[in-house]
Amino acid sequence: MDLLTAAEKIRSMEIRGASRIAKFAAEVMKEHALKVRENFDEEMLRASQILLNTRPTAVSLFNAINYIMRYRGESIEEKRESLVNRAEEFISWVESAQRRIAEIGEKRIKDGSKILTHCNSSTAIAVIKKAHDVGKRIEVFATESRPRWQGHITAKQLREVGIEVTLIVDSAVRHVISEVDCVLVGADTITANGALVNKIGTSQVALCAKEARVPFMVAAETFKFSPKTLFGDLVQIEERSAEEVAPKELLELGVKVRNPAFDVTPRSYIDVIITEIGAIPPEMAYFVIKERLGYTGITEEELRIDTRHYD
Ligand code: RUB
């Protein structure tokens, strides 16, 4: 697959969800590196830019590319080998992190639990499936997740393994929240101050959960934590097309549409973030960025040099 086709798959959401996007980008970078014959650095920088311009919100894409672009070497062959190794390391990080999160997260789910989830998070689903696999009786409320209906994917994936699922419209969350034992969602980005950026509507779910005193849990690999937010950058919230929300007749009448794809849930609404290094409070986000992503004492200027290809 060529680079532009791969980028279009992410942009059009054929490949979607923060973990899957990151893993796919790593595979594409690796494939591209294997094809480059000359100007390796420039070519890989161009590939990084094209992939990074597809979807702005999930930091997993940035972290994947940043990890891979730290390749070393003198000759083109050395550089290629180093990049390919790093891409493969990142891919196995994605896979092993999700397995570990499932093991850790499963312990936070009691037998007989009713879990509410929003959108379609492969990481949250891995936890739910694990709880089911170890013999817990689980029921899930899945929101539709308008306007792209990712909740239908969630409902299908859970039913396929025999888990009880009830689909609800997004606006029914407050109505059903008192029947729920916990909320479990995924993450596109976790900021340095522990806020969660996830599919639009997540913050409303969190608000309902807090009011009803229902634990709100997030399943997120450490590559969902954002180093850039440590240096003051705000997470860019993707705004998608009006056509995803409104029929043509309304648009032709001049009805304006806002279609933000993600929103921000402040850390005070989050009980725990289940990562591959443990079930941590959101207040630990800074340490994850510092220790796990390697941004130890790095200055903003150094970060910018390191990530020059993202500007
Ligand atoms: C997907 C979404 C998911 C996170 C986490 O949004 O918000 O909750 O990406 O998913 P979209 P995962 O469908 O717009 O990409 O746990 O699979 O990384």
Work out whether the CA dihedral 262, 19, 161, 216 comes out positive or negative.
Answer: negative
**3-class state of residue 242 by DSSP:** helix
Asked if 274 and 105 count as a contact pair (C-beta separation under 8 A), the reply is: yes
Decide: 187 in ligand 1 pocket, CB within 6 A. yes
Decide: 191 in ligand 1 pocket, CB within 6 A. no
Decide: 127 in ligand 1 pocket, CB within 6 A. no
Find the Cα–Cα–Cα–Cα dihedral 5, 11, 16, 18, rounded to 10°: 110
Is 41 marked active-site?
no
Backbone angles phi, psi at 72, to 5 degrees: -125, 170
CA 126–ligand 1 middle distance (angstroms): 13
CA 122–ligand 1 middle distance (angstroms): 7
Please identify, by atom number, the ligand 1 atom nearest to the C-alpha of residue 262.
Answer: 7
Is 119 marked active-site?
yes
List the structure tokens of 78: 């050395």
Ligand 1 pocket, mutate which of 13, 100, 188, 196 (most atoms under 8 A from CB): 188
Asked if 261 and 207 count as a contact pair (C-beta separation under 8 A), the reply is: no
CA 262–ligand 1 middle distance (angstroms): 10
Per-position pLDDT tens, the chain of length 311: 899 999 999 999 999 999 999 999 999 999 999 999 999 999 999 999 999 999 999 999 999 999 999 999 999 999 999 999 999 999 999 999 999 999 999 999 999 999 999 999 999 999 999 999 999 999 999 999 999 999 999 999 999 999 999 999 999 999 999 999 999 999 999 999 999 999 999 999 999 999 999 999 999 999 999 998 988 889 999 999 999 999 999 999 999 999 999 999 999 999 999 999 999 999 999 999 988 887 655 554 544 434 433 33
Rounded to whole angstroms, how far apart are CA atoms 145 and 79?
42
pTM value > 0.85:
yes
The residue annotated as part of the active site, out of 170, 182, 188, 271, is 188
Look at ligand 1, atom 6, and give the residue with the nearest C-alpha: 17
Decide: 18 in ligand 1 pocket, CB within 6 A. yes
Decide: 188 in ligand 1 pocket, CB within 6 A. yes
Decide: 203 in ligand 1 pocket, CB within 6 A. no
